[in-house]
């Protein structure tokens, strides 16, 4: 299914130092499951024991692990990254054939560039542009006046609303939605009045968007996702959010409207970022954390409630509801303690 | 793309007081991005500085801001609401042509009323009714015996299960699901037995439902969403939930089964409401809050764990696991403190 | 719509003891809404008052409730389970006709077994196998080399990526995604490099998966869901997660990569389980709880921040940011308190 490479082929293409026999490998695998025609790697010393037991035919190791195995191996400064490159080499995406499936519905005014593949039962709206070599899988819904750059890949069921723009080499996983109306409602005294959402979604190059993730169009201005951003599954990006380049968010995270997130940030799963905030570059927000104020300094931020047994939680959590009273008692005790010390000072005097 | 209006046209239609030249405007925009043929607004004094710098051709201002600009302007009691009405006037939804796209699959027994638009590759089941003027976009899946009122709009990929009923003028964003089976499982001693979900989803008029939001059908009775409700993206409404009129929920919120939520409530993003609870009218739940008990009084409720730097969090959060012990120590200190004071009283006597 | 059963028919099929007239019933219903031709049940003594007021024609009661009503009734050890079985008997799923809808696109190399129903505008990829009697509803997207066991049911809009395997009798609700790429990214010094996700999703028998739930394929090894698992809506299962048999998760829960969850576990809604953890069998995690470390003992675990009025929360939550300082003060007071007692001992000596 994939090609076969000798270790010397890999070193020639990707660098690194070959030690031992120049064996051929067919696939990448974990230390625990690798077979004789597969290559594995050690990046985390925690798995060192597995290194002794692996049946892998070859290994990628860091310089410090040079002699931890006598198998055929490639030494690389960053074995995880090197292994990823081997993985990518051995497992290129399986492209469907170019061309428009006869069951797809493509507007006559759409511009479909060279080598594009449009799958069964997909649809493309008026005046949209699909860049060269892009893959639109089955059942995708591309609205009117959408622009998708070259080399993109939309998995099945993706919906792109009118006027959205995706850069080059975007990957969008199944059933993601880009360009839906933001949550704009004005109270008119008796009901919510819908605020037309007339901004767009603008996405840079080399962005990946996860399955069932939703990105709302802007209200007046645009929602912007910069180059190289990574969004996992089930993420919600509200209108007019701006996400800086190479920021990565794990699954189930939500970002409320008009928040501006810097570059090179990371977010653990189920984080929630409130609206109209600003997060600096290189801010790391840990999983489950609600960010309720702007964060202007790079660093790692957390707000996780620690898990306990139900019994311990019952005993402890109830005090949260009267923490202020507890703090007041302590202050009072300190005051009295000071007086006592003073009193005793007097007594000792 | 949109029409052009003079300020006097706006005042004639929407009220307000015109001050200055009766200029023509073409579009709405933010203060920061507006051009000479665009109208902007000031509702939040925080943006007053932008008012001085804006290139907008006209403004909507509140009475107190009457003289904060000398540009052509309309005074309105609620400038945000007024601006929204101008926005709606300038940006009517772009309706696709009426008619059934030849690639759609519509059951012969379905009743499709006047002016309905059914997009490419959509499907409508047996005995369903699509009300006059409703738009069903590409790839929507309408089950059997579904009723959708007049003037509705279903964006691409929406799934409506059999027997669901939507009122008039409902807007449903892409890939939302209405009427899926609720999470009903009975433990039979060795496995989960699926409980058939035979209730329906009943949705009132003028409801908007966000992208990828899911609303489960009732188990025995129905799940009910009343008139004017607003649900953002990625929301989960479980079986037999009842949501009162004009309640609004921000993205990623979850409501567990059989909970009854009042009218005019608001929920911040990622709130989680447990099952079998009752929330009164006009309850506001802030973002990220888990509601674990009924709330019978109107008001604002919160349960957010505050974010800190990782270092500070490590120092502080660990104490949550032994808050009960801390409170006990304080009680003990108070007891002793009382005794000490008594002792000293004796000494001083 | 459904058949009619006499109580004696039910007892013959399902066991239990019939007391009173052998009436015919047509449907199941709640105590509050049941009519004369419907059967209801009492499992929770909380609803005992409703028992007196119900218009139900018959009841399922536990032994202890034998004489709480004089209506025709069936006594069963577990009335909830018994009632569920009656429900299932009266409400078999409405199967669409077998056969492939002419608008569906099914690869010539796919193997479609006997009695399969493939709905309008669905698609099935190359070399896939759809087991006997399985229902694939409108607009489902089955990739290449997918295997789905017999008796399955995929609701509209479900996407199954290539190489996924589902066991027998799986039910998948609308717009769920199985087999999407996991969130695998390696930092190459200037950008995220996508890690090819070459593992599969393997799902056992009798699994139900909720609407808009996403299950990522494995990175190198497979993501595994064992027999009888129940996943509610909007759940995210990351790559290489392993979920043991009969575990049930409520809506909006997220499980990060490589975490291994035991059998017979339960998770409340919006729980978040971090990656690379291990959870033992029979662990119950309550709603909204973030699990940040492995749990090796069966039991019930919680980490919920309690909800308060906004005013109370403001007073209390701020102390969380300096809980360590508070604990230090208490320790200091205890130290001094001890010294004071010692001092007083001296004085009293």
pLDDT category of residue C236 using cuts at 50, 70 and 90: very high
Residue B2 confidence (pLDDT): 57
Examine the pLDDT at B8 and tell me if it is beyond 80: yes
- CATH no. for residue A134? 2.160.10.10
Q: Which of B284, B255, B251, B282 is nearest to B267 (CA)?
A: B284
Q: What percent of chain A has pLDDT over 90?
A: 88
Mean pLDDT of A1-18: 91
Residue A93 confidence (pLDDT): 95
Q: Does B215 share its domain with B324?
A: no
Q: Residue A143 has which token pair? A: 């609205």
pLDDT category of residue C45 using cuts at 50, 70 and 90: confident
The DSSP code for A218 is P
d(CA B148, CA B276): 29
Q: What is the pLDDT of residues A104-114, one digit of tens each?
A: 999 999 999 99
Q: Residue B72 has which token pair? A: 């052509």
Residue A310's φ and ψ, nearest 5 degrees, are -55, -40
Examine the pLDDT at C276 and tell me if it is beyond 90: yes
- CATH no. for residue A38? 3.40.1390.10
Examine the pLDDT at A63 and tell me if it is beyond 60: yes
| Domain C-terminal end among B63, B90, B117 | B90
Distance from the Cα of A45 to chain B's closest Cα (Å) equals 25
User: Read out DSSP for C135-177?
Assistant: EE-TT-EE-TT-EE-TT-EE-TT-EE-TT-EE-TT-EE-TT-E
Distance from the Cα of C245 to chain A's closest Cα (Å) equals 23
Residue A322's φ and ψ, nearest 5 degrees, are -140, 40
Q: First-to-last CA distance in chain B? A: 92
Q: What is the pLDDT of residues B39-60, one digit of tens each?
A: 999 988 888 899 999 999 999 9
Residue A347 confidence (pLDDT): 42
Q: Residue B139 has which token pair? A: 């790839």
Q: Does B213 share its domain with B330?
A: no
* Contacts A312 to B, Cβ<8 Å: 321
**Among partner residues B138, B210, B344, which is closest to A183 by beta-carbon distance?**
B210
Q: Does C203 share its domain with C283?
A: yes
Non-local (6+) Cβ contacts of A299 within 8 A are A282, A283, A284, B309, B310
**Residue B306 is assigned to a structural domain of this protein:** no
> In the complex, which subunits touch C with 3 or more CB pairs below 8 angstroms?
A, B
* Contacts A118 to C, Cβ<8 Å: none
* Total domains present in chain B: 3
Contact yes or no for C194/A208 (Cβ under 8 A): yes
Q: What percent of chain C has pLDDT over 70?
A: 96
Examine the pLDDT at C346 and tell me if it is beyond 50: no
- Which helix or strand (DSSP H or E) is residue A18 part of? strand A17-19
Residue A339 confidence (pLDDT): 64
Examine the pLDDT at C228 and tell me if it is beyond 50: yes
Q: What is the pLDDT of residues B12-48, one digit of tens each?
A: 999 999 999 999 999 999 999 999 999 999 988 888 8
Mean pLDDT of A243-270: 98
Contact yes or no for A25/A8 (Cβ under 8 A): no
* Contacts C295 to A, Cβ<8 Å: 307
* Contacts B293 to C, Cβ<8 Å: 307
Distance from the Cα of A24 to chain B's closest Cα (Å) equals 46
Contact yes or no for A280/A297 (Cβ under 8 A): yes
Q: Which domain holds residue C335?
A: 312-348
**CA of residue C223 relative to chain centroid, distance:** 17
Q: Does C206 share its domain with C333?
A: no
Q: What is the pLDDT of residues A330-348, one digit of tens each?
A: 888 888 876 655 544 444 4
Q: What is the pLDDT of residues A120-174, one digit of tens each?
A: 999 999 999 999 999 999 999 999 999 999 999 999 999 999 999 999 999 999 9
Comparison of pLDDT for C185 and B322, the residue scoring more: C185
Residue A338 confidence (pLDDT): 65
Q: Does B281 share its domain with B233?
A: yes
- Choose, out of A189, A303, A341, the residue to mutate when testing the contact with B (most B CBs < 10 Å): A303
**Among partner residues A139, A299, A330, which is closest to B330 by beta-carbon distance?**
A330
Examine the pLDDT at C339 and tell me if it is beyond 70: no
- Farthest-apart Cα atoms in chain C, separation: 102
Q: Does A201 share its domain with A236?
A: yes
Residue A340 confidence (pLDDT): 58
Q: Which of C84-107 are b and which e, b meaning 16 or more Cβ less than 10 Å from the residue's Cβ?
A: bbbbbbbbeeeebeeebbebbbbb
Q: What percent of chain C has pLDDT over 90?
A: 88
d(CA C48, CA C273): 38
Instruction: Report helix angle A323-348 to B323-348, nearest 10.
Output: 30
| Domain C-terminal end among C90, C121, C148 | C90
Residue C341 confidence (pLDDT): 55
Mean pLDDT of A281-299: 98
Mean pLDDT of C169-189: 98
Please write down the long-range contacts of B286-289, taking CB distance under 8 Å and 24 or more positions apart: B286/C310, B287/A256, B287/A272, B287/A274, B287/A290, B287/A292, B287/B250, B288/A272, B288/A290, B289/C305, B289/C307
Q: Residue C227 has which token pair? A: 């027999």
Residue C250 confidence (pLDDT): 98
d(CA A147, CA A111): 9
Q: Does C209 share its domain with C336?
A: no
Q: Does A119 share its domain with A253?
A: yes
Nearest Cα residue in chain A from B330: A330
The DSSP code for C295 is B
| Domain C-terminal end among B36, B67, B90 | B90
d(CA B194, CA C208): 9
**Among partner residues A238, A299, A336, which is closest to B251 by beta-carbon distance?**
A238
Q: Residue A165 has which token pair? A: 């723009």
Contact yes or no for A131/A112 (Cβ under 8 A): no
Q: Does B58 share its domain with B134?
A: no
Distance from the Cα of B327 to chain A's closest Cα (Å) equals 7
Q: What is the pLDDT of residues C82-118, one digit of tens each?
A: 999 999 999 999 999 999 999 999 999 999 999 999 9
d(CA A310, CA A316): 10
**Residue C306 is assigned to a structural domain of this protein:** no
Residue C347 confidence (pLDDT): 42
pTM (2 d.p.): 0.96
d(CA C278, CA B81): 52
Return mean pLDDT, chain C.
95
Q: Does B48 share its domain with B175?
A: no
Alpha-carbon Rg for chain A in angstroms: 28
Mean pLDDT of A251-269: 98
Q: Residue A37 has which token pair? A: 């025609």
Q: Does B64 share its domain with B149?
A: no
Q: Does B214 share its domain with B283?
A: yes
Q: Residue C334 has which token pair? A: 């205890």
Burial tier of C3 (Cβ tally within 10 Å: 0-12, 13-18, 19+): exposed
């Amino acid at each position: 299914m994939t090609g076969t490479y000798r270790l010397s082929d890999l070193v020639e293409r990707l660098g690194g130092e070959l030690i031992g026999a120049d064996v051929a490998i067919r696939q990448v695998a974990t230390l625990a499951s690798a077979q004789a025609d597969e290559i594995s790697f050690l990046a985390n010393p925690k798995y060192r024991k597995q290194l002794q037991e692996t049946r892998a035919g070859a290994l990628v190791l860091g310089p410090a692990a040079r002699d931890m195995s006598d198998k055929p191996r490639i030494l690389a400064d960053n074995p995880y990254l090197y292994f990823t490159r081997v993985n990518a080499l051995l497992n290129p995406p399986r492209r469907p054939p170019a061309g428009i499936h006869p069951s797809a519905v493509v507007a006559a005014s759409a511009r479909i560039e060279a080598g594009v593949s449009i799958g069964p039962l997909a649809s493309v709206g008026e005046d949209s542009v699909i860049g060269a070599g892009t893959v639109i899988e089955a059942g995708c819904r591309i609205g009117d006046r959408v622009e998708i750059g070259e080399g993109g890949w939309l998995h099945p069921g993706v919906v792109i609303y009118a006027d959205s723009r995706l850069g080059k080499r975007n990957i969008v996983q199944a059933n993601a939605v880009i360009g839906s109306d933001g949550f704009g409602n004005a109270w008119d005294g008796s009901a919510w009045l819908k605020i037309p959402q007339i901004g767009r979604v603008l996405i840079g190059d080399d962005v990946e968007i996860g399955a069932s993730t939703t990105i709302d169009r802007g209200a007046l201005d645009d929602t912007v996702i910069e180059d190289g951003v990574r969004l996992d599954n089930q993420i919600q990006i509200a209108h007019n959010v701006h996400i800086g380049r190479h920021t990565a968010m794990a699954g189930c995270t939500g970002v409320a409207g008009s928040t501006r997130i810097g570059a090179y940030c990371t977010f653990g799963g189920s984080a929630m970022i409130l609206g109209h905030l600003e997060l600096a570059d290189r801010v790391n927000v840990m999983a489950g954390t609600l960010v309720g104020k702007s964060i202007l300094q790079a660093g790692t931020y957390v707000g996780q409630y620690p898990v306990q047994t139900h019994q311990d939680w019952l005993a402890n959590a109830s005090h949260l509801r009267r923490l202020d009273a507890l703090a007041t008692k302590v202050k009072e005790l300190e005051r009295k303690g000071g007086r006592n010390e003073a009193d005793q000072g007097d007594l000792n005097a």
